[in-house]
Structure 1
Amino acid sequence: MRALRFDRFGDPHVLGLAEVPDPVAGDGEAVVAVKAASVNPSDLKNVAGQMEGTTLPRIPGRDFAGVVVDGPHNWVGVEVWGTGGDVGFTRDGSHAQMLTVPAAALARKPERLSFEEASAVGVNFVTGWLGAVEAAQLAKDEIIAVFGVSGGVGGAVAQIAHALGARVIGVDRVHPADGTPAASIIKEFVALDGSARDTASEIKRLTAGRGADVVYDAVGGVTTPAALASLARRGRLVVISAVGTRTVEIDLVELYRDEIRVYGCNSGHYDVVESGARLQRLAPFFDSEEFRPLPIANRYGLENGQDAYLAVENRIRGRVVICP
């Protein structure tokens, strides 16, 4: 089969198109013919050597959608989707014509989604679910401020929060683009164009001085002071990233007096089996059209894999998909 592969870390130009042996399902495994696989910012960081634990040589790619062609008899021919913190890092990934996964990782693709759409869900929605639902335990009628709402994870969090019955305040440099799922949800928006105090003051104004029960900070670092200042008493902060700086100053007296809780969330710790279990929980929301993936911006073949990675590096709006 053909696959993108890299044997040293660097920019997208270290990726090469290779001919490698077709995978064969071993005991407890399945082989998936990849119909579509999105390119995530974390895939770019992986190739650059910025992610921990990656072993070389490696086929990258976390998210995928395709058809089972080898493995348990009852799964052969079934359309599936998947993602995982090990896929493309310690096991070969989805930017190839086929990949092998544990049979326990198989999850049926929502019928309403095309292969391309399904391949653009994994990292964003699993990360969003882990932080908003499993860590922060966001509840109906609570208020959540989503920092980075115009991005992939932020847009997923907005949809998850809306489905839970929470009130969603979007926070970003730019409003979600027209036609994106988040744009139809966000009725209250705070622009990240001032100081941390300005951002927090606006969120407090929108909440009658109370603040947000949950702040999901999909940016982190430069936004952490504003995120903390935006919380209500007993508020929960979810952090998934650190942009601009890895270190921030925290007023511990304010932290304990307001009983603030801070959660770090890393979907990279959840392998393809654990991630597949969460995709199974998400699937009904996509089949009912309550959840929608971000629009596909560009599609590439494997022979243009470097261009797909460069598009993500250039921060194209919308999802980039490789169709092997």
Structure 2
Amino acid sequence: MKAIQFSHYGDPDVLQIQEVADPTPAQDEVLIEVKATTVNRLDLFQRAGSRPVGNLPFTPGLEAAGIILQDSNGFKTGEHVLTTRASLARGGGGYASKLAVPAKDLARIPTGVSFEQAVAAGLAASTAWGGLFDLGKLKAGERVLIWAGSSGVGSIAVQLAEHAGAWVATTASSEERAQALKQLGADLVINHRQQNVGELLQEAGGAQLVIELVSSTLQDSLQAAASDGRIILIGNLGGKEATVDTQAWRLKRVNVLGGGQLRTSVTNEEKFLQLIAEHAIHPLIARTLPIEQAAEAHRLLDSGDIQGKIVLTHA
């Protein structure tokens, strides 16, 4: 089979297509032909060496959508499936054209949902669902602030929260992105470069739940939160450090919870895939490129100009 790998750390050009042996499934695994994967920030960090991998050469790719190649563990040949745990599969990550995936890690893709849509939702939607519902316990009628609404996780979280009946605020860096987020269902979009996020949320009554994807904005999140509010710390797009007013934190009784490597269950992944089939949510796809252009995809993501996910397709 073919796989995009890097054998040493460096710039995007270290990504090269290689012929490698097909994976042999273990007893609890299912062999799939990968049709689509995505580019995530972690892929860039691994390739550059800032997040070193265990062994080289290495095949990136955190998620994969594809076709079952042979009946196994309750799955039938030809079924369409998604895994948000491709990095744990036998054969490498989603940049490989075949993977042997534990059956417990496979979600069925419903009719009407393309491989590209499924994988563009994929890990982003799994993380968003986990933050909003598994950890955040979001309820209809609550106010939620979602940072970085144009990011992969943010754009899906806005839609999931709106679908759940929440009042949704989010942040953007331009009017163009703000308009796109309003179309996704956001009730309030704040230009964080020009406006005070915490003050505006307090004027709206405070957020019972904050999905914190930036980390360096934690003080703003504490200001934005209602008394007894919840902050789910998922990402650190703005860096790993933040200075906070612990007195205000203590007096407001805000609960800050680290999300860790957050994914929801396969059962819930099938629920959001069904929402895509019903046209209730729409994963944002910025670009679709053949897997052979993985290096170009890394450059595009690194540019910071992308709104939505970059999808890589296998022929």
Fold match by TM threshold 0.5 = yes
Q: For the residues of structure 1 that align with 2:226 and 2:156, how far apart are their CA atoms?
A: 23
Q: Which residue of 2 aligns with 1:63?
A: 63
- Which 5+ residue runs of structure 2 have no aligned equivalent? none
Q: Residues 302 and 323 of structure 1 are in contact (CA less than 8 Å); yes or no, is this contact kept in structure 2? A: yes
Conserved 8 A contact 2:289-2:297: yes
Identity of aligned residues (%): 27
Tell whether the 8 Å contact from 1:37 to 1:321 is kept in structure 2 after alignment.
yes
Partner of 1:313: 302
Cα deviation, residue 226, structure 1 = 1.1
Instruction: Pick one of 191, 200, 205 that aligns with 1:202.
Output: 200
1:237 shift after superposition: 1.0
| Alignment-mate amino acid for residue 247 of structure 1 | E
Structure 1 residue 257 corresponds to structure 2 residue 226? no
1:233 to 213, 227, 232: 227
1:211 aligns to 2:206 (yes or no):
yes
Displacement of 1:179 in angstroms is 8.7
Q: 1:322/1:213 Cα in 2 relative to 1: closer, same or farther (>3 Å)? A: same
Distance 2:238 2:80 in 1: 40
Q: CA deviation at 1:39?
A: 1.2
| 1:177–1:253 CA distance, 2 compared to 1 (3 A) | closer
SS in 1 for 2:68: strand
| Higher RCO, Cα 8 Å, sep 6+ | 1
Q: Go from structure 1 to structure 2 and tell me whether the alpha carbon gap of 1:192 and 1:18 turns closer, same or farther (over 3 Å shift).
A: same
Contact 2:150 2:307 in 1 (8 A): no
Three-state SS of the structure 1 residue aligned to 2:293 is helix
Distance in 2 (alpha carbons) for counterparts of 1:252 and 1:113: 46
Would the alpha carbon gap of residues 118 and 175 (structure 1) be closer, same or farther in structure 2, given more than 3 Å must change? farther
Conserved? CA contact 2:23–2:91, under 8 Å: no
Partner of 2:169: 169
Deviation digits for residues 218-250 of structure 1 (CA, Å, limit 9, x no counterpart)? 2221x2221111111001111222244422222
Q: Secondary structure at 2:240's aligned position in 1?
A: coil
Q: Distance in 1 between matches of 2:69 and 2:303?
A: 35
| 1:83 and 2:84 are equivalent in the alignment | yes
C-alpha contact (below 8 Å) 2:230/2:257 kept by paired residues: yes
Aligned partner of 1:147: which letter? W
CA 1:286–1:171 in structure 2 vs 1: closer, same or farther (change >3 Å)? Answer: same
Deviation at 1:317, TM superposition (A): 2.7
The residue identity in structure 2 corresponding to 1:169 is A
Calculate the aligned-residue CA RMSD, in Å: 2.4
Change (3 A) 1:140 1:109: same
Residue pairs, 1:102-251, within 5 angstroms: 102-175=102-175, 177=177, 183-194=183-194, 198-205=196-203, 207=204, 210-221=205-216, 223-251=217-245
Residues 1:281 and 2:282 are matched in the alignment: no
Could you tell me which amino acid in structure 1 is paired with residue 273 of structure 2? A
* Runs of 5+ consecutive residues of structure 1 not aligned to the other structure: none
Aligned length: 312
Deviations 1:198-228 (A, max 9, x none): 22112212x1xx311111122221x222111
TM-score normalized by structure 1? Answer: 0.88
Q: Distance in 2 between matches of 1:103 and 1:291?
A: 26
Deviation at 1:79, TM superposition (A): 0.7
Segment drifting more, 253-262 vs 180-189: 180-189
Shift in Å, 1:155: 0.9
Q: d(CA) in 1 for partners of 2:127 and 2:175? A: 21
How far off its partner does 1:184 sit? 3.2
Post-superposition shift, 1:110?
Answer: 2.5
State the SS of the aligned residue for 2:66.
strand
